Amino acid sequence: MKEITLNLRARAMELLAGGRVDLVIGYGTGSLPEFVRPVFVDRPERAEELIFNPLCAQNLTKYILDYRDQPGRVAVVVKGCDSRSINQMMADGQLDREKVFLLGINCPGLADPVLLSVAAGRRDWQVEAEPEGFRLRWPGGERLLPRDEFLMYRCRTCEHHNPVVSDVLLGDPILQGETPDRFAEVRRIESLTPEERAAYWDALFARCLRCYACRNACPACTCRECIFDRPEPEWVARVVAPQSNLAYHLVRAMHVAGRCVDCGECDRVCPVAIPLREINRKILKELAVLFGAPTPGTSHPAPEPLATFAVTDPEVWL
């Protein structure tokens, strides 16, 4: 992964120095070992701020929305999962492909920062991905952690280690084995009785803070004005209560239905660990079962089952 970082910096420097892009959005070192952060590199000499390591989880494509209407072009670092957002933004008419340069990274899978912190047991470590696992290093010591045990939850069901769209690709291509079952948890929840299922979600939504981090981090949430922000009419009550929280999450899931690329950012950012991704995955499962549709963003252009009517559409719910 060291090579990826070095190549990334070289590419960024080249793009900025040559005037091909005005800004490179990538990952940089965070304030503590378990954190990385988005960095916005606007000069060639700042390219050395860029890194790539197994903590680079955030889907940076969301930031494109801040720059797409400005003159010039931005480069964005995308992993396989993030790259689906680019295709979907184009399908949604949200992005002109010419406005972005995609620094694609063939990503072998990320590590869970909490598990790494616990394993390190100290506050001065760094992590690198190696073929055998995740290598933790600290001054005067190191430890190799088995990949399977420390792999981030979302990476366990990775569909695209290699970006589906990019302008350059960094790192060796990764053999995409068979994708593990992404719908196991959805099926578990489906198998509950309606009462059990209601109790399951009610308990989770009861602790929702309505901080809207799931919405703000979501690359499919592109509305200029969100209905949850409109005071009049008040579509969903701003009074925080289990019922209005349920309404919020279901409305949000429906708004991104058929457009959610399953990047897992809603899950990652939730401060109270509500497994929001499973709601979206329920919809993804329906798409797969009813229409044989792949995860949105897998290719572009692609059929959009929920935005298209065909007389052959299954109508099992009618």
Partner 1 sequence: MSVTTPTAGTISRPDLARLLAGPAADGRLVAPVRTAPGVVLFAPVRDPGALTLEYVNSTVSPKGCLFPQSEKILGWRGGGPKLDLYSPPEPQPLVLFGVRPCDLRAITVLEPVFGGGYPDPYWRRRRELTTVVGLGCTEPGPYCFCVAWGISPVAAPEADLMLTPVDPGYLVQSQSPKGEELLRRSGVSLQAAGTEPAVLRERRTAELTARFRRLIDPTGVEAAAERLFDHPYWRELARRCLGCGICTYVCPTCHCFNVIDRTAPDGSGGRYRCWDSCLFERFTLQASGHNPRPTRAERLRNRLLHKLSYHRSRYGLEGCTGCGRCVAACPVNIDITEVVADLKGMMT
The Cα 17–Cα 11 span in angstroms is 10
DSSP E strand stretches across the chain: 23-29, 36-41, 74-78, 100-105, 126-130, 133-138, 141-146, 168-170
Contacting range for partner 1; rule: CB under 8 A; set: 98-106, 134-142, 207-215, 248-256 = 207-215
User: Taking phi first (over 0 means left), then psi (-120 to 50 degrees means alpha), and beta for anything else, what does residue 262 get?
Assistant: left
217 binds partner 1 (CB under 8 A): yes
Pairing outcome for strands 100-105 and 168-170: parallel
Give the nearer residue to partner 1 in terms of CB position, either 86 or 266. Answer: 266
Give the nearer residue to partner 1 in terms of CB position, either 35 or 176. Answer: 35
Give the nearer residue to partner 1 in terms of CB position, either 110 or 287. Answer: 110
The distance in angstroms from the start CA to the end CA of the chain is 51
What CA–CA distances, in Å, run from 143 to 1, 120, 134, 294? 17, 8, 8, 39
Return the closest-CA partner of residue 53 out of 30, 87, 70: 30
Encoding tokens for residue 67? 């720059």
Contacting range for partner 1; rule: CB under 8 A; set: 58-66, 88-96, 154-162, 247-255 = 58-66
Task: Tell me the closest approach of the beta carbon of residue 303 to partner 1, in angstroms.
Answer: 31
Q: Which of residues 64-83 bind partner 1 (CB under 8 A)?
A: 66
Task: Tell me the closest approach of the beta carbon of residue 271 to partner 1, in angstroms.
Answer: 4
Task: Tell me the closest approach of the beta carbon of residue 39 to partner 1, in angstroms.
Answer: 8
Instruction: Report the residue from 186, 269, 283, 287 that binds partner 1 according to the rule CB under 8 A.
Output: 269
58 binds partner 1 (CB under 8 A): yes
Reported as half-sphere exposure (CB side, CA atoms, 13 A), residue 272 has a value of: 10
Interface residue list for partner 1 (CB under 8 A): 30-32, 35-40, 58, 62-63, 66, 114, 117, 123, 207, 209-213, 215-217, 229, 231, 234, 237-241, 268-269, 271-273
